[in-house]
Structure 1
Amino acid sequence: MYWLIGVLVIFVFQAATILVLEYRRPANAMAWLFILFLFPIVGFVLYYFLAREYQRRRRVRKRGGIDEQRRAEIIAKSHLIAQPEEMPSPEFAHQERLFKLLRKAGAAPITGCNKSRVLTNAENAYKAMLEAIRTATHHIHFSSYIIRDDETGRKFREELIRKAEAGVQVRVLYDGIGSITLNKKYFVPLVESGAECAVFFPLRPAFMKKRMNYRNHRKILVVDGTLGFVGGINLGDEYLGKHPRLGFWRDTHLALEGDAVYGLQEVFLKDWETATRHNPKDPAYFPVHQCTGKEAVQIVAGGPNRRDDAIHETLFAALSVAKKRIWITTPYFIPDASIAMALKIAAMSGVDVRLIVPLVPDTYLVHAATLSYVDEMMSYGVRFWQYSRGFIHAKVVIVDDLMGSVGTANMDLRSFFSNFETNALLFDAERIAELERDFLQDLNDSREIELSSFRKRPRKVKAKQALARMLSPLL
């Protein structure tokens, strides 16, 4: 009898601890309580090492994780957009609240001296990135969640080695979990050539320091502080359609010239400091830009080292003001309550809300969690398509003619609140039209989900999706 009471007291203590620590995020609390119920004691140990905020997070958040001196230098050199009337779309004249939020989000300004290119799929992105690397004269800063030791990975390594041997500063940053299968021998030739290589939160130290749940999901390349790249494409052959199961890989990347590159550079250098405890400083990292374009662009960075959840906040604000359309492409759709409600209300108000998600998944559990939202969202008028040409990994959001977003963040809880992510917000009409053309082509390569047919799926499938949804805050 006494041992049973003891076990119950321990269980209640563990459950109470989770509820107290996760009171800001009820979905997380429910997921961990479910795991604790299935695996008493073991579930709490997992929570302690995987879910709790990593050391220093609260302290870092208080100061925003920003180098204020560096930020002041960026602002002084940038061509800032200070009023909504200065934005490319005349619609912003009536969106003062959204404009004010965007200006404050993520500590990065909206700059008006930029030129961008939408790079559809890895073939185009890799070509542009390699060309940029070959032009480097001072530095190359490259960050990727996944780096593969395959033909693609070795091709990039060869170009980076050539530049390092020529005296160009080369820094390569990769994530400890995303690139967990990458042998460290891959970096030996790079280091021998003079390049610097670092891993972001390697597996074992991250586990012991309770950082394993926080991954650097960014894909950033900055060349000489004047050319920048960001988007959904990592480094590997599968992005060229060579994955034996997934086949054709649909993705979107972005090339930037101009003041928006300052934002990418600042994000990379902060990540490098987090990984290495070294903060490289050189005025050449932030050169004065020749204004070759007039596009308005904003870099929005999110992560546990930032004061706010900037990516979540900017997307929610944009979705909330939509009048005509919300078009979203995402491989993983696991929204929090606020994003889900914004989409429901928009659809009920007559806004054309469309989502493209994969038909063939790369991760079955996450895919099941994504499909668990379909019935609920469609009942409010949201429409879903499943991409059938291969696997779709692009992370694109189009809101009216106001804004297009291209970046590394998925439409899920992990990207909103746990991962280190970076999105580029585009406001130029021509660039938004480009994203629109790609979206319409993707619709042609997709099949729309019919609610009546979807509801006829077997009970076993519904149960799997319900279980996946329960665990989705942790995926």
Structure 2
Amino acid sequence: MWLLALYAAHSVLVLALALRSVYRPTNALAWVICCMFIPVIGLILYVVLARPVSIRRARLADDSSEESLALLSTPANSALRGLVGVEQAMSKLSGGTATHGTVRILPNGEETYAALFEALESAASSITAEYYIIRNDPVGQTFLSILARKAAAGVSVRLLVDGIGSLGVVRSQLPKLAGVGVDCRVVFPLQFPWLRPGINHRDHCKIVVIDGSIGYIGGINIGLEYTGHKPGVGAWRDTHAQVTGQAVQGLARVFELNWSVGRQVSAGRSSNRTQADRVQLLNGIPDYRPPTSRQADAIPALMQTVESGPDRPVRTVQALYFMCLTQAKRTVDMVTPYFVPDTDLTMAMKLAVARGVRVRLLVPEHCDHRVVGLAARTFFAELAKAGVELWLYGAQLLHAKVVVVDGALSVLGASNFDLRSFRLNYEVCQVVYGEAAAEELTKQFEADLADAHHVSVEEIQALLPVGILERGARLLAPLL
């Protein structure tokens, strides 16, 4: 009898869970399946992990600026006229309008670190840095050493990291940095009891702002693997950008939002060992020296910073990608390492093709996150049948996140094309309005296609069959 009562109670709780998440049916389904397979533990996980996170306060713009709309609508920017709606919608949803600036495209880790470290060394007044991953390796140690030395020299330095992505640095290096004057905070730190609200949410942003005038954004974290020289990882294909001008203020605004929810890190207790660590941090010889920075052209453009997070009523980055697909007139080129969209986005891709838009999707042939890679396979056949050109990249590990629309609008940043980025992470993207930047990113896309192969529906069914593992991974996709 007590087993029957326990089963009934569990059923009622699972039903309550489903009803509570009725406005997000795919998410509700994933949790119901989880609770069915691990009855008690599943409910406990839901109660802890599905609790809302703290709301980051932001001043949302009432409307797009008249200047930005006028510039996007001028004859010189005729290709952008049909995309003005993107700027208007993102101004409403994310709180930042398009502003003037320049952008330099950085196509790999070596060039990114060369430009970034050079700019950090020249900082005169302030440095704000936010990363999902900072490794405790030669690249990470070089980066942290620069921050420590600049803080000791009187520069205001603030460092914000994710509690899981940068776990090793959080435990071993941040107290030392705090001891030399770096203001350090951690978003969603891993602390006892380890199963805490927020543990399933991550700060996935990569933002650096130097002296309020130069910024960096993209897919590259701080670690040796991004240089392509880490043993066992191999070559790494990624995209980052250097931003200057008024557009940097958008990155600064997003940093302040995320800084507001970080937890302060205190300096380590004073001891001879701690003091020795601080001296080494300040005076140690860098283990990694990037090559000389390639002086790529700085491209003038209008830019808009778009952020999203689990505290937002609208999934802003998902809405951005949706608008790119629905507003496109001619072409959409998409690069992403992790492809697990929802029904709205797959429908938008199919409808874009039906309207005569050429949609090309470039994804890795071998995903470094196995479950995500399995889930991605379940989308390939239906998209290929609808006319989406699917390309599998096999030359290197693909980690870039870029969308180019009609050769006039570009999106690059930290956000992947998956449900975790849309629903669970703090994310940031930079929208670049202008043909010159789009042309450079399109050239990079075409170069990447040379190292990829196009797959037909027949090849997908033969080479990438959808089995039980793939279907199971897709069911759990909302929780990945």
So what's the TM-score if we normalise by structure 1? 0.88
Partner residue of 1:92?
80
Q: Which amino acid aligns with 2:468?
A: A
Counterpart of 2:58? 66
Q: Deviations over 1:390-447 (max 9, x none)?
A: 1100000111123100000000111112210000001121110010011011111112
Match of 1:101 in 2: 89
By how many angstroms is 1:79 displaced?
A: 9.7
1:285 corresponding residue in structure 2: none
| Contact 1:145–1:179 (CA under 8 A) maintained in structure 2 | yes
**Counterpart for residue 217 of structure 1:** 204
Once superposed, what is the RMSD of the aligned Cα atoms?
2.3
Q: How does 1:350-429 map to 2 (within 5 A)?
A: 350-429=356-435
- Residues 131/80 of structure 1: CA separation in 2 closer, same or farther (3 Å cut): farther
1:135-146 aligned at under 5 Å gives the runs 135-146=122-133
TM-score (norm 2): 0.88
Shift of 1:208: 5.3
CA distance change for structure 1 residues 137 and 381 in 2, over 3 Å: closer, same or farther?
same
SS at match of 2:367: coil
Shift in Å at residue 317 of structure 1?
1.2
CA deviation after TM superposition for structure 1 residue 67, in Å: 4.9
Displacement of 1:347 after TM fit? 1.8
The one-letter amino acid of 2:260's match is: E
What's 2:336 paired with? 330
Maintained 8 Å contact 1:81/1:87: no
Tell me how far apart the structure 2 counterparts of residues 345 and 231 of structure 1 sit (CA, whole Å).
Answer: 29
In structure 2, what residue type is equivalent to 1:471? L
Report the counterpart of residue 446 of structure 2 in structure 1: 440
Matched residues, number: 446
1:147-226 matched pairs, under 5 angstroms: 147-182=134-169, 184-204=171-191, 209-226=196-213
Query: Superposition pairs for residues 259-270 of structure 1, below 5 Å?
Result: 259-270=246-257
Q: C-alpha distance in 1, partners of 2:19/2:194?
A: 22
Range with bigger deviation, 6-15 or 83-92: 83-92
Alpha-carbon separation, structure 2, partners of 1:206 and 1:118: 42
Change (3 A) 1:420 1:231: same
* Cα-to-partner distance string for 1:74-129 (whole Å, 9 max, x where unaligned): x9xx9951334159631333445444323323001111x20110110110111111
The alignment status of 1:300 with 2:306, answered yes or no, reads: yes
Q: Which residue of 2 aligns with 1:17?
A: 16
Match of 2:218 among 207, 218, 231: 231
1:33 partner amino acid:
V
The whole-number CA distance in structure 1 between the counterparts of 2:91 and 2:51 is 31
> What is the rounded CA distance, in whole Å, between the counterparts of 2:217 and 2:85 in structure 1?
27
Gaps of at least 5 residues in structure 1 are 279-291
Secondary structure, in 3 states, of the residue corresponding to 1:158? helix
Structure 1 distance, partners of 2:219, 2:75, is 26
Deviates more, 1:382-391 or 1:123-132: 382-391
How far 1:184 sits from its partner (Å)? 2.1
Q: Does the residue aligned with 1:41 lie in a helix, a strand or coil? A: helix
Could you say if the C-alpha distance between residues 323 and 67 of structure 1 is closer, same or farther in structure 2, counting changes exceeding 3 Å?
closer
SS in 2 for 1:354: strand
Task: For residue 169 of structure 2, give the secondary structure of its aligned residue in structure 1.
Answer: coil
Q: Closer, same or farther in 2 for the Cα pair 1:11/1:405, shift >3 Å?
A: same
Q: Which amino acid aligns with 1:430?
A: A
**Gaps in structure 2 of 5+ consecutive residues:** 266-297
Q: Which residue of 2 aligns with 1:319?
A: 325
CA contact (8 A) 1:89 1:427 kept: no
Tell me, yes or no, if the aligned pair for 1:229 and 1:256 is still in contact at 8 Å.
yes
Matched to 1:190, the amino acid is: L
Q: 1:262-281 counterparts in 2 under 5 A?
A: 262-276=249-263
CA 1:350 to 1:293, structure 2 compared with 1: closer, same or farther past 3 Å? closer
**Rounded Cα–Cα distance in structure 2 between residues aligned with 1:202 and 1:212:** 8
CA drift of 1:245 comes to: 3.6
1:346-368 per-residue CA deviation (whole Å, 9 max, x = no partner) reads: 12332211111112221111111
Matches of 2:264 and 2:153, distance apart in 1: 26
Give the corresponding residue for 1:8: 7
C-alpha spacing 1:314/1:375, structure 2 compared with 1 (3 Å): same
> Structure 1 residues 186, 402: CA separation in 2 closer, same or farther (over 3 Å shift)?
same
CA pair 160-95 structure 1, distance change in 2 beyond 3 A: closer
Is this contact kept in 2: 1:358–1:392, CA < 8 A? yes
CA 4–457 in structure 1, closer or farther in 2 if over 3 Å, else same: farther
The structure-2 alpha-carbon separation of the partners of 1:49 and 1:424, relative to structure 1 and needing over 3 Å to count, comes to: same
**Contact 1:88/1:296 (8 A) holds in 2:** no
Matched residue type, 1:312 = Q
Distance (Å, rounded) in 1 between the aligned partners of 2:333 and 2:116: 27
Q: In structure 1, how many angstroms separate the alpha carbons of the residues matched to 2:252 and 2:240? A: 17
- Residues 114 and 256 in structure 1, CA contact (< 8 A), matched pair in contact too: yes
Q: Note if contact 1:325-1:353 (Cα within 8 Å) is conserved in structure 2.
A: yes
Letter paired with 2:379: Y
Tell me the SS of whatever aligns to 2:229: coil
- Report the secondary structure of 1:204's partner residue: coil
